[in-house]
Chain A
Amino acid sequence: MILGLVALGAPLGDSCLSRGMTSMPPISLAHPLSLVSAIFTPWIGAGIVLLIGFFASYLTALSWADLTYVLPATAFGNVIVALFARFWLHESISWQRWAGIVLITVGVGFVTQGPSLTERPVESAEPDEAVEGRVR
């Protein structure tokens, strides 16, 4: 579920930011405060909330899984965006993109079949405490 939130949060958050920023008038570097007011628009606010959710889920996933397990799984978000574009926005998808979707899906399916965390030997100095920690 956490990996699902990671995969969904980033692309949806980026999409909201993109939608919000393109609907705003051009922002000049001479008026940087107009960027602050952009934060309070609905699309950009929603994008920021989604990206905060993404980062919290990403950190949670990294606390119990290897980086080399989490990163390929998060790439599945690209597939979700492409399918979203195809079936909701009715955009056409080239054969290269379908090939990309298949490769990412196979790659993510492949890595998630394996262990999520590298097994490390338990320190022998405090065996009782280690066992107690696991039971708790």
Chain B
Amino acid sequence: MTGVHPGAWAAAAMIAAVVLTSTAGEVLTAAAMKSVGDLDEIRAKSGLKGAIRGVVTCPLFFMGVFFLSLSFFSLLFALNHLSLSLAAPASASLTLITNAIAGKIFLRENVDRRRWISAGLVCVGVYFLAH
């Protein structure tokens, strides 16, 4: 790898790093918010401070933010080596699919046919839109 023209495997590894860290961050954040509960109800009962306290006292939330930060820096690194028209749509599209898989496995969400089709349509749509 020269750093100027990374090979196909290096490009795939960079995009995979963005997708995996982003998926981990999204899943951990979603799990955190499910454990906190409905924020609208908490805010109605305990006010805005209560809702903020509920979020910032959840360790899963900070793990999620940590992985989302890693994803952000992975994307910056990828953009430093790959073209925007490859890195941005590829990572955005693949993240939708990996999140659907991770949501089904780790969050035990009911990812029915409707959601699979929707994720697929949006995935292809994002790819087209970024070109």
Contact = CB atoms under 8 A, between A and B. Distances in A.
Please determine whether chains A and B interact with each other in the same assembly.
yes
Interface of A: 59-60, 62-64, 66-72, 75, 78-79, 82, 94, 96-97, 99-108, 110-111, 113-115, 118-119
A68 B38 contact: no
Pick the most buried of A63, A75, A108: most chain B CB atoms within 10 A of its CB: A63
A39 B100 CA distance: 35
Contacts of B55: 59
Contacts of A66: 30, 103, 107, 109-110
Dominant secondary structure at the A interface: helix
Contacts of A79: 129
Nearest to A109: B118
A6 to B, nearest CB: 13
Interface string B28-51: 011001101111100000000000
Interface residues of B, number: 41
Interface in B66-121: 92, 95-96, 99-100, 103-104, 107-112, 114-115, 117-121
A68 B109 contact: yes
A100 B109 contact: no
Contact of B39 (A60, A96, A113): A60
Interface of B: 26-27, 29-30, 33-34, 36-40, 55, 92, 95-96, 99-100, 103-104, 107-112, 114-115, 117-122, 124-131
Nearest to B120: A107
Contact of B103 (A63, A68, A97, A99): A68
Nearest to A81: B129
A111 B109 contact: no
A8 B131 CA distance: 21
18 contacts: A62-B29, A63-B33, A67-B30, A68-B99, A68-B111, A68-B115, A72-B115, A82-B129, A96-B131, A100-B124, A102-B125, A103-B121, A104-B122, A104-B125, A107-B119, A107-B122, A110-B118, A118-B109
